Amino acid sequence: MTKPSMADALKKNLNRRDWNFKSVTALVLFAAIILVFVLFNGYGGRFAAVGMGAAARVNSTYISMYDVGRETERLERFYAGMLGGQMGEAQRQFLQQQALETLIQTELLAQYAEKNGIYATDREVQETVMKEVPVFQEDGIFRFERYRSILEANHLTPAEFEESLRRDKKKERIRDLFQFSSSPLAIDLQTEKELDQTALQFQYAKFDKDEGKMGVHLSDAEVREKLKDPEFKKKVEGDFKMNSSTYDQPEQVHAQHILIKAEKGNASSESGALKKIQEIKEKSGKMDFGKLAAQYTEDVGSKANKGDLGSFGRGRMVPEFETVAFAQAVGTISDPVKSPFGYHLIKVLEHQPERKADLQDFELKIAKKLIAEEKFETEVKKLEEALSQNKLAEVDEILKANSVAWRDSGPVALSAEQVPALGSPVLSQAAFELSSQRPMSKLIRDGSSRVLIRWKGLSPKKDAPAKTEDSMELARERGMDRMNAWLEDLRQKAHIERNLTGPKDNSLMD
């Protein structure tokens, strides 16, 4: 007699066991899933007219366009809230395609369950309907008329709904089969515990073209001496011409204001705000404008600064405010200015006209920047050469000569996906590739900077809690990974034909 396999034993156990052992939390979550089905799985909508044509065939079973339409509508309603009700045709086609793939997967699981004797009893389905879905209850008691009326409102018959529950329970059994067969051994739990209580340690050095960070501290006299070199001076002039717009000074106004808010379109609110701002205008001839702003303005952002908005260029303020501010004489207070926020009084403190940049004003600044960039490129080449020859001591000397220090990353959990101190997935990936055998990375570009990372070692996590491993959680994670791989294999072996046009399917295909 053939000895039953572990899978057979688990399957037998799954079909015999009483499902009441599930936690209250699991039951509530399952009930929530069923409730979503009830509330959103109505027929309705534009798909109802498609008819019963086949959207796909899974082995010998057909999936109707009717079912695809129903599942698509469920997805549309689910995502409509996230998208603010805005959904184009491309999104609808994508959801229709997703709906079809979901139904194909459900059918594959159902066929597998049927073939391998994984089933759900009538009693289990009835227990779910009567005890686990609160929407079917009244004062905690299941009411059949309520059950039937809710299903009718969603264009479902009890038979259709209960069959969907039966299929869901079969899927749950298959998931549990994978979970139970993935239960971790004691050595797995010990390994997980050790990983959780061990931290990686890195150091990193970051330097860029900024003259201060590169250790370039030249006096103005030294820079002017450098500018005597015709080739270097030509570079400075070229940089100025290329970036002149960044050196130009745009027209700017420095102003204070007092705002009295008004509800747009509300005549009473607007007239009240206008009356109040006019009264403040009268006081402004005798009192300090800043004190008035601190007392009366309803602009929270500038109230603490006595209504001071600082300097701003054109395009920063609403047009009504900007037009007056830029046309107003310095030191004067405007008449009430109406904007979408209410009424303003504006006092202009300073008005700077637009000014084109002059090379003489920026020559030293540009020269220092170019000197730092030249040194940067030179040091980068020296570092790359030292790294290529594995001269790590020389690397340290180059960094020290450029006033670039190594920084600690802090402890990083072995399970972490990134090194927080590095702030970049690319840099984190480079760090995770290091070890005692390969202790230093290559120079990695990070914007305008270059970053070097080195391995410091492993250490116990001082803040690691002494916890007991959750073997069920580990089994769940492993089970889902195995189930996904198994589902993909099931798809490959099944005969699947699709007859649904969309972004992925344009014809009937395997």
Contacts (Cβ under 8 Å, ≥6 apart) of 43: 66, 69, 70, 73, 154, 155, 156
Q: Please tell me the predicted confidence (pLDDT) of residue 408.
A: 92
- Judge contact between 195 and 414, C-beta under 8 A: yes
**What's the CA angle centered on 464, arms 462 and 467, to 5 degrees?**
145
- Asked if the model's pLDDT at residue 101 lies above 70, the reply is yes
Contact 409, 204 (CB under 8 A): yes
Name residue 221's amino acid. A
> Domains in the chain, please, with CATH?
6-185+490-498 (1.10.4030.10), 198-236+360-460 (no CATH), 249-352 (3.10.50.40)
Mean pLDDT score, 453-458: 90
Residue 27, CA distances (Å) to 30, 31, 132, 133, 150 in order = 5, 6, 7, 9, 21
Under DSSP, is residue 227 helix (H, G, I), strand (E, B) or coil?
A: coil
d(CA 207, CA 402): 9
Residue 337 near residue 321 (C-beta atoms within 8 A): yes
Only one residue has tokens 């130009």, namely 248
In the predicted structure, residue 468 carries a pLDDT above the cut 60 = no
- Calculate what percentage of the chain has a pLDDT beyond 70: 77
pLDDT band at residue 470 under the 50/70/90 scheme: low
162 φ/ψ angles, rounded to the nearest 5 degrees: -70, -30
Of 266-270, 356-360, 403-407, 409-413, least confident by mean pLDDT is: 356-360
Handedness of CA 94, 96, 97, 98 (dihedral sign): positive
pLDDT digits (tens, 9 = 90+) for 123-168: 888 888 898 888 888 888 998 889 888 888 877 888 888 888 888 8
* Confidence check: pLDDT of 466 > 60: no
pLDDT in tens, 236-270: 888 888 887 777 788 899 999 999 999 988 999 99
The arithmetic mean of pLDDT across residues 259-287, rounded, is 93
| Mean pLDDT, residues 157-185 taken together | 80
Name residue 274's amino acid. Answer: L
Reported confidence tier of residue 8, pLDDT bands at 50, 70, 90: very low
CB-based contact 455:202 (threshold 8 Å): yes
Measured CA to CA, the distance from residue 205 to residue 452 in angstroms comes to: 5
Angle between helices 267-283 and 289-296 (to 10 degrees): 150
Provide the CA 216 distance to its chain's centre, in angstroms.
39
Quote the CA–CA distance of 285 and 457 in Å, as a whole number: 71
The CA–CA distances, whole Å, from 383 to 204, 398, 449 equal 14, 7, 14
54-84: pLDDT as tens digits = 888 999 888 888 888 888 888 887 777 666 5
pLDDT at position 45:
36
386: its two tokens: 């030292």
